[in-house]
């Protein structure tokens, strides 16, 4: 009976066997409908800079693949709750759920390679070619997944699936094989605007697009000094942001634990903040290197740890925070200036004297500006 199955049916069966939670198929026709939107977003300065820079290559699969015919889209569901007991021993930060477990790029790439190997075996003797990618390639992943029938693109710009909500990782394979396409999924948001009103930085534009530079996920990944307006709003999340997913009705009650490699460990995804301030490169790589949230290195996370300690009101950690005033990296020094000011503003006299002294020694213009701004702030409230 299995010999009568089409190649597409065999691929679907194999995808289930290797642990792919959802799979869909679409043509490799150009994504013309994205062109105006992508160009408008770029012109408005709403892009993050992390996207593939060539818009035409994002729209036309033939620009980066020879004779594309089909795209296979996959989704893997990831956990939303941690089942380990949360220690109350010290001040902790948090990685957003998208960074729990082993880096999803590695997990999805392995699944895609397994699927490609299966298709190659099934099409032996046929001139078949494949190109897998997971969000670092040219395609707009949610657009591919939507057209392949995996779900619809919500007002928060994320793919929302019927079974798993938006808590899914996406990947795709472009190929020169012709496979029967699935039907796209119609938008299901209706009049709901919970993600838009729930976003603390007004990053969502209301039509599935966002001003990426206002997104807290983007702000936690930058390497420079975080603008003041975002510092309190990130609370204790030192990487990413889950808010627009957590308020979405489609995500209510969704918590899937299908993949052991995605399971979070408390000390990794709710890391103690103070040790993070002085962690060595070697220890950082050992403890956090397998998380997708480590891709920008330790500096942004250390900056964010300082901010999170302020948001927790961690006055008892002032000695460790103030040690960062002498850090060789300007971004850390500048953030430590703000953190020290915030945690000593009720009794600012000693901090004012310290900052006046630091200002005479500081050579970096951005750090100087942060010291002056906080000196003015402390003098005004004292």
* CA distances in angstroms from 17 to 14, 111, 240, 350, listed in the order given: 5, 11, 31, 64
Which of 140, 175, 210 is the last residue before a domain boundary? Answer: 175
CATH of the domain at 351: 1.25.10
Residue 22 lies in a domain: yes
Residue 38 lies in a domain: yes
Which of 132, 153, 175 is the last residue before a domain boundary? Answer: 175
Provide the domain limits for residue 339. Answer: 316-382
Residue 364 lies in a domain: yes
Mean pLDDT of 18-27: 98
Higher-scoring residue by pLDDT: 236, 2: 236
Mean pLDDT of 37-43: 96
Q: Mind listing the pLDDT tens digit for each residue in 131-155? A: 999 998 999 999 999 999 999 999 9
Structure confidence at residue 1 as a pLDDT band (50, 70, 90): very low
Mean pLDDT of 38-48: 95
Global confidence as pTM: 0.94
Mean pLDDT of 8-18: 98
Which of 155, 175, 195 is the last residue before a domain boundary? Answer: 175
Domain count for the chain, please give it: 2
Cβ atoms of 70 and 25 closer than 8 Å? yes
Residue 376 lies in a domain: yes
Residue 271 lies in a domain: no
- Residue 3 has a pLDDT of 59
Choosing from 135, 141, 242, 327, the catalytic residue is 135
Mean pLDDT of 288-309: 97
Residue 251 lies in a domain: no
Tokens, residue 193: 């605007």
Cβ atoms of 154 and 144 closer than 8 Å? no
Residue 43 in this model has a pLDDT that exceeds 80: yes
Residue 300 lies in a domain: no
Q: Mind listing the pLDDT tens digit for each residue in 219-237? A: 999 999 999 999 999 999 9
In the chain, pLDDT over 90 holds for what percent of residues? 95
In the chain, pLDDT over 70 holds for what percent of residues? 99
Residue 311 in this model has a pLDDT that exceeds 70: yes
**Mean confidence (pLDDT) of the chain:** 96
Structure confidence at residue 88 as a pLDDT band (50, 70, 90): confident
Question: Using H for helix, E for strand and C for coil, what is the string for the chain?
Answer: CHHHCCHHHHHHHHHHHCCCCEEEEEECCCCHHHHHHHHHHHHCCCCCCCCCCCHHHHHCHHHCCCCCCEEEEEEEECCCCCCCCCCCCCCECEECHHHCCCCHHHHHHHHHHHHHHHHHHHCCCCCCCEEEECCCCCCCHHHHHHHCCCCEECCCCCEEECCCECCEEEEEEEECCCCCCCCCCCCCCCCCCHHHHHCCCCCECCCCCECHHHCHHHHHHCCCCCCHHHHCCCCCEEECCCHHHHCCHHHCCCCCCCCHHHCCCHHHHCCEHHHHHCCCHHHHHHHHCCCHHHCCCHHHHHHHHHHHHHHCCCHHHHHHHHHHHHCCCHHHHHHHHHHHHHHHCCCCHHHHHHHHHHHHHCCCHHHHHHHHHHHHHHHHHC
Residue 2 in this model has a pLDDT that exceeds 50: no
Residue 216 in this model has a pLDDT that exceeds 50: yes
Q: Mind listing the pLDDT tens digit for each residue in 251-269? A: 999 999 999 999 999 999 9
36 is catalytic: no
CA distance 197 to 215: 13
CA distance 224 to 190: 38
Residue 83 in this model has a pLDDT that exceeds 70: yes
Tokens, residue 106: 């590695």
Instruction: Please compute, for residue 312, the number of CA atoms within 13 A of its CA located in the half-sphere on the CB side.
Output: 22
Q: Mind listing the pLDDT tens digit for each residue in 186-211? A: 999 999 999 999 999 999 999 999 99
Residue 334 lies in a domain: yes
Higher-scoring residue by pLDDT: 171, 85: 171
Mean pLDDT of 312-322: 98
């Amino acid at each position: 009976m299995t010999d009568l199955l089409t190649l597409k049916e065999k691929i679907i069966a194999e995808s289930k066997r290797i642990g792919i939670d959802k799979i869909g198929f679409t043509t490799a026709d150009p994504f013309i409908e994205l062109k105006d939107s992508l160009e408008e977003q770029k012109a408005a300065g709403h892009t993050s800079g992390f996207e593939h820079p060539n818009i035409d290559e994002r729209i036309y699969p033939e620009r980066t693949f020879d004779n594309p015919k089909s795209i296979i889209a996959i989704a893997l569901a990831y956990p939303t709750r941690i089942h380990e007991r949360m220690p109350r021993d010290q001040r902790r930060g948090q990685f957003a759920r998208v960074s729990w477990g082993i880096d999803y790029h590695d997990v999805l790439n392995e699944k895609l390679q397994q699927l490609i190997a299966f298709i190659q075996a099934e099409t032996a003797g046929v001139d078949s070619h494949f190109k897998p990618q997971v969000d670092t390639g040219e395609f707009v992943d949610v657009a591919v997944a939507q057209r392949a029938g995996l779900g619809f693109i919500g007002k928060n710009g994320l793919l929302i699936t019927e079974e798993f909500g938006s808590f899914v990782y996406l990947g795709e394979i472009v190929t020169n094989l012709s496979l029967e396409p699935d039907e796209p999924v119609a938008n299901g948001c209706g009049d709901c605007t919970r993600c838009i009103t729930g976003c603390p930085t007004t990053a969502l534009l209301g039509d599935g697009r966002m001003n990426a530079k206002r997104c807290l996920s983007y702000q936690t990944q930058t390497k420079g000094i975080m603008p003041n307006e975002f510092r309190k709003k990130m609370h204790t999340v030192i990487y990413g942001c889950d808010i627009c997913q957590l308020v979405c009705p489609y995500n209510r009650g969704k918590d899937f634990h299908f993949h052991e490699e995605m399971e979070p460990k408390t000390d990794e995804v709710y890391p103690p903040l103070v040790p993070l301030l002085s962690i060595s490169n070697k220890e950082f790589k050992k403890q956090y290197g397998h998380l997708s949230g480590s891709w920008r290195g330790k500096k942004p996370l250390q900056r964010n740890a300082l901010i999170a300690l302020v948001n927790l009101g961690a006055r008892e950690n002032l000695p460790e925070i103030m040690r960062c005033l002498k850090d060789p990296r300007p971004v850390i020094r500048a953030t430590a200036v703000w953190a020290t000011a915030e945690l000593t503003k009720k009794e600012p006299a000693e901090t004012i004297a310290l900052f006046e002294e630091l200002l005479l020694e500081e050579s970096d213009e951005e750090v100087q500006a942060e010291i002056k701004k906080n000196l003015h702030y402390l003098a005004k409230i004292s």
